[in-house]
Amino acid sequence: MHVAIYGGSFNPPHVGHAMVASWLRWTGRVDAVWLLPAFHHAFEKVLAPWEDRVSMAESLAATLGEGFRVERIEQELPVPSYTVRTLEVLAERHPEHQFHLVVGADVLPQLPQWREIGRLRARFPLIVVGRQGWAPVEDAPSFPDVSSTEIRALVAGGGMYAHLVPTGIREIVERRRLYVPDGVRA
């Protein structure tokens, strides 16, 4: 089975993530999409708690339906867990699958900084998806430029964001009081 590994902070997941994941399945590029929340981000980022981000990713996978799941492997790996190592461990555990790595056009400029990018690209084919505001990607649409950073700012400022996240994710954000400026969580 061809499985797309769609990694990210998912801080929070949003409609852009949902569109990309669905497009991968709808167009037959892969048989399944595994959402891979980063346990720790190698390049920066203050993240919402791991379990909250996993819960939001699980909500997204449930909304998308059959063929979508969340892979929690990064919580088991040494920090920081580099993408190449994460994919190698997945391949060892699931030799029956061919894994593909999903990256957005906005990530392409960062790839030279990734650990062992040559080895990663040689073993795990990339599926590059377009993003508005970035150079077009051949054979892929440009998905809307929705960002988790924008959503966190809207939540923190009391702005409207419900149109940018699936309902289940909005409910988790509100119930857990994620991204609010006082930092007080329920």
Render pLDDT for 16-46 as a digit per residue (tens, 0 to 9).
999 999 999 999 999 999 999 999 866 556 7
> pLDDT tens-digit profile of 73-83?
999 998 888 99
State the average pLDDT over residues 90-106.
97
Enumerate the H helices of the chain as residue ranges: 15-26, 50-64, 83-93, 117-123, 148-156, 167-176
Six token digits for residue 24: 């991968």
User: Strand, coil or helix: what is 131?
Assistant: strand
Q: Is 60 exceeded by the pLDDT of residue 184?
A: no
142 forms bridges with which residues in the sheet? 130
Average pLDDT, the chain: 93
Helix (H) or strand (E) segment spanning residue 100 = strand 98-104
State the average pLDDT over residues 49-63.
97
pLDDT at 186: 41
> pLDDT tens-digit profile of 140-162?
999 999 999 999 999 999 999 99
pLDDT at 32: 98
104 forms bridges with which residues in the sheet? 129
In Å, what is the CA distance from 126 to each residue of 6, 49, 97, 142, 172? Answer: 11, 28, 15, 16, 31
Considering the segment(s) 2-144 as one domain, its CATH architecture is 3-Layer(aba) Sandwich (3.40)
Name which residue leads in pLDDT, 184 or 63. 63
Query: Do 137 and 162 contact (CB within 8 A), yes or no?
Result: no
